[in-house]
Amino acid sequence: MTNTPENELSQKQTINMSEKLRLAGMRPTRQRVALGDLLFKNGDRHVCAEILHEEAVEHKIPVSLATVYNTLNQFRDAGLLREVALVGTRVYFDTNMSDHQHFYLEENAELLDIPNSALSVSGIPEAPEGMEVAGVDIVVRLRAKNK
């Protein structure tokens, strides 16, 4: 894959993505930069490995599913993505690292952001001895009304 951006914007994005990856301590390889662009250039996203891989294939990005899995895990470990706590087997990641929570649509397994401002939790008990709170995940499960 030669570096042939279609326009200045995508050139700029790729450069930013390289920087971003370098700052996160990762070598900005072609696949990582391309996946990073897919993930971060259009605002908040909720993806699983399979979906991101399909999308990469559509965009003619040569990347294997195994590399997508590895890359998502690396991005999460580097603090670029957060993993979402969900019922079920599939692992989802969220590109929005800010403190916010989710709606989960049960029928089609879709995730939606809940604006942070709206939600607040009170009365979280003291963490047990020697522990600290690493984060609070809230999922509001939604289903179709009067089914």
Fill in the per-residue mask, 64 to 83: x = in contact with a copy of itself (CB under 8 A), - = not in contact: -------------------x
* Binding partner of residue 9 among DNA, a copy of itself, none, CB cut-off 5 to 8 Å per kind: none
- Nearest distance, CB of residue 73 and DNA, angstroms: 5
- Say whether 19 sits in a helix, a strand or coil: helix
Fill in the per-residue mask, 119 to 138: x = in contact with a copy of itself (CB under 8 A), - = not in contact: xxxxxxx-xx-xxxxxxxxx
Please name the residues in contact with 18: beta carbons below 8 A apart, sequence gap of 6 or more: 28, 33
> How far apart, in whole angstroms, are the C-alpha atoms of residue 109 and residue 27?
33
> How far apart, in whole angstroms, are the C-alpha atoms of residue 32 and residue 21?
8
Binding site for a copy of itself (CB under 8 A): 83-89, 91, 103-106, 112, 114-115, 118-125, 127-128, 130-145
